[in-house]
Amino acid sequence: MCGRFAVTLPNDAMAQLFAARPANDLPAVPNYNVCPTNQVHVVRAGDGGRKLDALRWGFLPHWYKSETAGPLLINARAETLAEKPAFRAACRERRCLIVATGFYEWTKTEDGERLPWYIHRRDGAAIAFAGVWQDWGSDAARKGTCAIVTTAANKNLGSIHHRMPLILDPGDWALWLGEAGRGAATLMQPGPEDALVFHRVGRAVNSNRAKGPQLIEPDISV
């Protein structure tokens, strides 16, 4: 799964990287501790080309009467994406890219202590998570929401967690966004073993209120 991530790329650099028009209300960057229900950077395709938007991380199905009417859907399993009532329409019609620099995962000690790890691309490039989105609410208060698609972890990350976000290479962005026709289902599998690296970080990130670049620095006490 993916429950927290970091994004450090400037907004104009994100827009250039994804060849997308930036919205005026994009979240502030850098943010080393992006949490569920935060606004996140999302690339969507449309008739006028790609747009870089801000959406709520936490997918809200259309039948939710309030934002807390059901489970907080921050992740969507690739294996059941096309079948689950909450996601099946979005899987066909509303796919997106969610921009990150890296993400966090946790392991547990024998006494239950949570130990955080920071995971990022070996080459230092930005990460594009596969995502799905849904507009929710009445016309007067309509908001865009999204979830990150996850797969079984590859062997490399399996030592930390059994799930991982679906990460798309640049050559696959157009297919996931629907710009290159059908076939997005072929992308829903773990990425190459050597694409990501990880290191232990300090426990400060266990708090969703923690901020600052020190959150992604290696924990020298390990």
Q: Given the DSSP bridges, would you call strands 143-152 and 50-57 parallel, antiparallel or unpaired?
A: parallel
Question: What are the residues whose beta carbons fall under 8 Å from the beta carbon of 22, sequence distance 6 or more?
Answer: 11, 12, 14, 15, 51, 52
pLDDT of residue 56: 98
80 falls in which pLDDT band (50, 70, 90)? very high
pLDDT of residue 28: 96
Query: What is residue 117's three-state secondary structure?
Result: strand
Burial environment of residue 206 by CB neighbours within 10 A (0 to 12, 13 to 18, 19 or more): middle
pLDDT value at residue 78: 97
pLDDT above 70 covers what percent of the chain?
Answer: 100
Q: How do residues 104-123 score in pLDDT, each as one tens digit?
A: 999 988 888 899 999 999 99
Residue 104, beta-bridge partner list: 118
Q: What is each CA distance from 15 to 10, 99, 135, in whole angstroms?
A: 9, 10, 22
* pLDDT tens per residue, range 146-174: 999 999 999 999 999 999 999 999 999 99
Superfamily of structural domain 5-216: SOS response associated peptidase-like (3.90.1680.10)
Q: Where are the domains of the chain?
A: 5-216
Average pLDDT, integer, range 17-36: 97
Mean pLDDT of the chain, nearest integer: 95
Quote the CA–CA distance of 20 and 147 in Å, as a whole number: 20
Single pTM value for the model: 0.96
Work out the average pLDDT over 42-64.
96
